[in-house]
Amino acid sequence: MNKILGNFLKVLAVVVWVQFLAILFYDPAQEGVGFQIWSVLDPLMVIAILITIWVAFRRKTEIDSLAEEGVSRDYVEANIALYGGVALLAALLWNWIGSRWAYPLVSFQWLWILIDLTLPLLLFSAGRRLTRKEAL
């Protein structure tokens, strides 16, 4: 199961990155196919971030239980993955719900760009950790 989830996270990270770059060429106004593709990717991104948060939480719990003195690299990585994932989920839900259902003018273009740039980094690292069977 770890390998399936890990590969899902890595593939989605690549798809989001390619979509982020390719949409500038085939649908710059995001009025046609590009908007439809993002409509499919947004729920998948939320699911992937939840998986990433779960993986990071499990890793952080494991590292905290070791009771090592000082700050280690694993400790910093686990905290960045967990709290970065939570912040990314909050930003994604804010923009996605705001732009689709609540009030379209609430959506911030700069926040979408930040999400689309950082999400592949977070997902790919969590996916790599899962496929190595270091988590869960």
Checking if the pLDDT of 136 tops 70, the result is no
- What letter represents residue 45's amino acid? M
Find the domain containing 95 and state its range.
2-131
In angstroms, rounded to a whole number, what is the distance separating the alpha carbons of residues 75 and 62? 10
116 domain-assigned = yes
Q: Give the per-residue pLDDT at 65.
A: 84
122 domain-assigned = yes
- 19 to 68, 86, 131, 133: CA distances (angstroms): 42, 23, 24, 28
Long-range contacts of 115-119 (CB under 8 A, 24+ apart): 115/45, 115/88, 115/91, 116/16, 116/17, 116/19, 116/20, 117/20, 118/84, 118/88, 119/13, 119/16, 119/45, 119/48, 119/49, 119/88, 119/92
Of the pLDDT bands very low, low, confident and very high (cuts 50, 70, 90), residue 31 is low
Number of domains observed in the structure of the chain: 1
- What letter represents residue 2's amino acid? N
Of the pLDDT bands very low, low, confident and very high (cuts 50, 70, 90), residue 111 is confident
Of the pLDDT bands very low, low, confident and very high (cuts 50, 70, 90), residue 64 is confident
Checking if the pLDDT of 97 tops 70, the result is yes
136 domain-assigned = no
| 20-42: b (≥16 Cβ within 10 Å) or e | beebeeebeeeeeebeebbeebb
* Total residue count of the chain as it appears in this document: 136
